[in-house]
Structure 1
Amino acid sequence: MDAILMQVLTLQAGIASLLAFILGVCLCIVVHQMIARTRKRTIEEDLQRQIDGAKREAENIIKSAQIEAAAEAIKKKEQFTAEANQIRAELRENEMRLSKREDALDRQTDLLQKQEQALKKQEQDVERRFRNTELKDKQLSVLIAQQKNQLLKITAMDIEEARQLLLKRLEDECEHEMSSLIQRKVEEAQELADVKSREVLSTAIQRYAAEQTCEVTVSTVDIPNDDMKGRIIGREGRNIRAFEKATGVDVIVDDTPGMVVVSGFNPVRREVARLSMERLIQDGRIHPSRIEELVAQTRNDVNAKVLQIGKDAAVETNVRGLPNKIISLLGALAYRTSYGQNVLRHSVEVAFLSQVMADELGLDGSIARRAGLLHDIGKAIDHDVEGSHPVIGTNYLKRFSESPIILNAVAGHHGDIPPDNPYTPLVAAADAISASRPGARRETLERYIKRLEKLEEIATGFKGVETAYAIQAGREIRVIANADQVDDEAAMKVARDIAKKVEDEMTYPGEIQITLLREVRCIEYAR
């Protein structure tokens, strides 16, 4: 019984468990379905909200697009209206312009018609005059024939003789008129040339400013004491003889304290000798072998310095393509002076003045600058070669195939040969400007006074000259002539004769102006 009871209880417990499981499963299914329905409803609500939002956003976009489209349409309409108004205005202007042109064409047509009528009248007048002219020509031919016959009867000449007489008279008249015309044109050209030349020269002088100080080559050597003179002379004069032989200069050792004079015609040799003497004195070893060694070393140094000076001058003037030999001669001009004026600085100054004047005249400034720099190149070797420095310089430059323009400018800058190009007169003018400007050249007071006295003496030596005054530092002579002895025509001849005599008998830089004055002074006293 108990066992059956236990089985029954067990069976009941199993059935209860099964029922509970089934109920649990059913409950889970029910809960799951409820959750699914709730989620579905939530999803549907979210979806509905998104659809409603999308609809509202679409409506907003459509409204914005409609508003923008309406605004764009209004803007396009306004633009179209403005363009239409502009086109209408242009059309009105074109219509007005065409109307004016039509009016102008109508006026021109009327004017042309009037001119055509006037031309017809003129043609008729010309035809009438032509007929009258033909009639008068016939009448004149008859009259001329009658006059010819009458003249032939009176003069007993034939036609050929009369023709020759008329041609001769006509030739004389034409020659007189031609001479007058030529003289007038020459005077006008001379006046224009004077004005233009003054402008060019003044512009060149104003644009180029050069130093007024003039360096002179120093030919003296300072010595520390007079005992050094004996060492320079050496035993029986061997040192001084060796020095003079090595340098080619003369050494003067006199009683002048504290100095030795170096004398030589070649400025470069003199500079070599001066530097060699200074180095010997500083070195203290003075004997023939040391002298020869030191002089050779100094000569090389001076040649290098001369070459560098020439290169600096070429660079300063921007003259290119010069050989080293010509550049060395340019450097040697730095040790050469003319009336106290350094020849190299003078050449550089002439180069710049020539360029300025060439630029003013529309010529090539580089050619003028090259000719101006090389115009005095012959002065670097005129102590070693016979002839004037223009000829020497020209012959030397020919070796280096310089252009004919440069050669003519070098040879003719002092008027030795006629110029064959416009650059030669420019170089000559620049040379005169550089040499004659105030402060360019110097001379001693004694020579200066003698030159002024010589000028006054030459001027007063002519008949009819009462007195003469040298003014403007000797660049002008003011001559006072006796009006009773010298008339207007003779005054020009006297002035020219004075200028000619000054040119022949004196040496001077630049030019000298002769101004001759003659006047009649009538003096009375009222008492």
Structure 2
Amino acid sequence: MDIVHLVIGIVALLIGGVLGMLYSRSSLNSKAKFIIQDAKKNAENLLEKASVQAESIKKEKQLQAKEKFLELKSQHDADIQQRERKMQEAEKRIKDKEQKLNDDLSRNGKLEKDLDRQIADYAKKTEFLERKQAELDTITAQKIEILEKIAGYSADDAKAELVETLKAEAKTRAQAHVQTIMEEAQLNAKNEARKIVIQTIQRIGTEQAIENSVSVFNIESDEIKGRIIGREGRNIRALEAATGVEIIVDDTPEAILLSCFDPVRREIARLSLHRLVTDGRIHPARIEEVVEKTKKQIEEEIIEIGKRTIIDLGIHGLHPELVKIVGRMKYRSSYGQNLLQHSREVANIAATMAAELGLNVKLAKRAGLLHDIGKVPEQESELPHALLGMQWAEKYGENAEVINAIGAHHDEVEMTSLLSPIIQVADAISGARPGARRQVLESYIQRLKDLEAAAMSFEGVSSAYAIQAGRELRVMVESGRVNDDAASQLSYDISEKIQNELTYPGQVRVTVIRETRAVNIAR
């Protein structure tokens, strides 16, 4: 504001001067001159007042500048003092570290001297011990020589005899120790495994029907046989050509035999014959028409069976081709056991075991149902059924654990998950149960003979008997030649030989019996 007043005064003074000049030149009247003089006076007053205020402002600003200078100087001095204090502290720390380092160096020097002294003492003691050891070896050799002369045995002979004695004793003790450890280790696991397997069989086990490669078509009278054969056998030839089944018409009353290794083709032939006989029109053209319709019906039935099976087992998302393969299992058999029933049973057994072990029950059912799909190929394959089934499962996008379980259930591939051994065990349970599968009498008898022969090949065995349909092998030993410890070892050796050399379903229990009898007659 003071500067504004000063500027206004100067402007007024200039205006007054200009007006004075103008009025003086134009000879204005005295009133105008008075106004000009008054304006000049006001301007001079304003200038004087502005000058005073400016001087006051100047002094005030100078005073403020001095105060700011003093303040900055004080702060600068404080910063310098703080830096000096930090430098002094840093110098003190450095001096302390130097002192500590010097102390450590001095202490290390003393330790090095002590170590050198101890090394020298150790060298002297080592030299002394070596000298004493040499003297001891010499004395020992002399004593051994003297003992050999007295005993008439060389050191090597004595060592060999001692080693043989110790080996026999150690073997007996080791076998007893091993037997104890094995019994203790297997106690809980064996009982638990037996519990799971027995409970699974009791809950899931079903009767199995034995199938073969021949179907019987019953007829009301033998007159129909002639109509089926046809003029010069044309009807029967057309029927065999259309179905791929051998039709045997013999003297069997009211029956015609249908022979074929493929159950699907036998079923097509049986249903076709039933339709033809019921309809009464039997000629080659009609035979081909009926067979074709029957094939379509069987295909639809196969798909329906597959769907019904997976619904019963609670399996979802199965590829349509796999559903069809599952349906075809109904018309297949393995060692006389219906393949679909076997697969359903394996699925249920595997699910039960998986539930007991805390594994995925749905995956176990899926793998159990599909484990034998390689047994129903539409075309012959050189691959084992496990590998073929694994390829199909992989092709149709099955789970990796299911694929491995299918391929590994006969050990064709390495097992990579806990699901695989479960499927293998479930398959063995379903197939090895008594009555589940038909077995040729000759091979069954031969297996029993092989079991008995394996036991008789061991020293000290007096007799051996395969009992319980080959599930148990009882071995009688001579008490004078085989003691209790050796009997335990013998049981283990026989079981190992059976496991490594023979082929058998399920498991074989080996029981070694050793007894001593004392007989007297009271007269």
- Give the structure-2-normalised TM-score: 0.61
Instruction: Give 1:144-163 correspondences, 5 Å limit.
Output: 146=121, 149-155=124-130
- CA drift of 1:451 comes to 5.2
Paired position in structure 2 for 1:278: 274
Q: Deviations over 1:210-257 (max 9, x none)?
A: 422425366111122223222222223222221111111211222222
Query: 5+ residue gaps in structure 2?
Result: 1-113, 133-177
Aligned residue among 463, 474, 478 for 2:470: 474
* 1:468 partner SS: strand
Paired position in structure 1 for 2:175: none
Instruction: Say whether the 8 Å CA contact 1:262–1:273 is kept in structure 2.
Output: yes
Relative to structure 1, the CA distance from residue 221 to residue 485 in structure 2 (aligned partners, 3 Å threshold; closer, same or farther) is farther
Instruction: Give 1:473-492 correspondences, 5 Å limit.
Output: 473-483=469-479, 487-488=486-487, 489-492=489-492
Identity %: 39
Paired position in structure 2 for 1:211: 206
Q: Given the alignment of the two structures, is residue 425 of structure 1 paired with residue 400 of structure 2, yes or no?
A: no
Instruction: Say whether the 8 Å CA contact 1:452–1:470 is kept in structure 2.
Output: no
Relative to structure 1, the CA distance from residue 261 to residue 453 in structure 2 (aligned partners, 3 Å threshold; closer, same or farther) is same
Q: What is the identity, as a one-letter code, of the residue corresponding to 1:364?
A: N
Q: Deviations over 1:376-403 (max 9, x none)?
A: 1112228732332212211222221222
Relative to structure 1, the CA distance from residue 147 to residue 370 in structure 2 (aligned partners, 3 Å threshold; closer, same or farther) is same
- CA drift of 1:459 comes to 3.8
In 2, Cα distance between equivalents of 1:415 and 1:293: 46
Q: What is the identity, as a one-letter code, of the residue corresponding to 1:500?
A: N
Q: Deviations over 1:103-123 (max 9, x none)?
A: xxxxxxxxxxxxxxxxxxxxx
In 2, Cα distance between equivalents of 1:190 and 1:475: 20
Q: What is the identity, as a one-letter code, of the residue corresponding to 1:414?
A: H
Instruction: Say whether the 8 Å CA contact 1:382–1:392 is kept in structure 2.
Output: no
* 1:440 partner SS: coil
In 2, Cα distance between equivalents of 1:325 and 1:496: 44
Paired position in structure 2 for 1:415: 411
Aligned residue among 510, 514, 517 for 1:515: 510
Q: Given the alignment of the two structures, is residue 437 of structure 1 paired with residue 403 of structure 2, yes or no?
A: no
Q: What is the identity, as a one-letter code, of the residue corresponding to 1:153?
A: F
- CA drift of 1:327 comes to 1.1
- CA drift of 1:514 comes to 4.0
Q: Which moved more, 1:215-224 or 1:399-408?
A: 215-224
Q: Deviations over 1:318-352 (max 9, x none)?
A: 11111222112111111222333221111111111
Instruction: Say whether the 8 Å CA contact 1:351–1:372 is kept in structure 2.
Output: yes
Relative to structure 1, the CA distance from residue 148 to residue 515 in structure 2 (aligned partners, 3 Å threshold; closer, same or farther) is farther
* 2:204 partner SS: coil
Relative to structure 1, the CA distance from residue 292 to residue 485 in structure 2 (aligned partners, 3 Å threshold; closer, same or farther) is farther
Q: Given the alignment of the two structures, is residue 311 of structure 1 paired with residue 311 of structure 2, yes or no?
A: no
Q: What is the identity, as a one-letter code, of the residue corresponding to 1:151?
A: T
Q: Given the alignment of the two structures, is residue 302 of structure 1 paired with residue 298 of structure 2, yes or no?
A: yes
* 1:262 partner SS: strand
Q: Given the alignment of the two structures, is residue 343 of structure 1 paired with residue 361 of structure 2, yes or no?
A: no
Q: Which moved more, 1:420-429 or 1:353-362?
A: 353-362
Instruction: Say whether the 8 Å CA contact 2:474–2:513 is kept in structure 1.
Output: no
Relative to structure 1, the CA distance from residue 468 to residue 185 in structure 2 (aligned partners, 3 Å threshold; closer, same or farther) is closer
Q: What is the identity, as a one-letter code, of the residue corresponding to 1:231?
A: R
Instruction: Say whether the 8 Å CA contact 2:216–2:258 is kept in structure 1.
Output: yes
Instruction: Say whether the 8 Å CA contact 1:483–1:518 is kept in structure 2.
Output: no
In 2, Cα distance between equivalents of 1:198 and 1:144: 66
In 1, Cα distance between equivalents of 2:207 and 2:391: 32
- CA drift of 1:203 comes to 4.0
- CA drift of 1:419 comes to 0.6
Aligned residue among 360, 368, 373 for 2:369: 373
- Give the structure-1-normalised TM-score: 0.61
In 2, Cα distance between equivalents of 1:514 and 1:199: 17
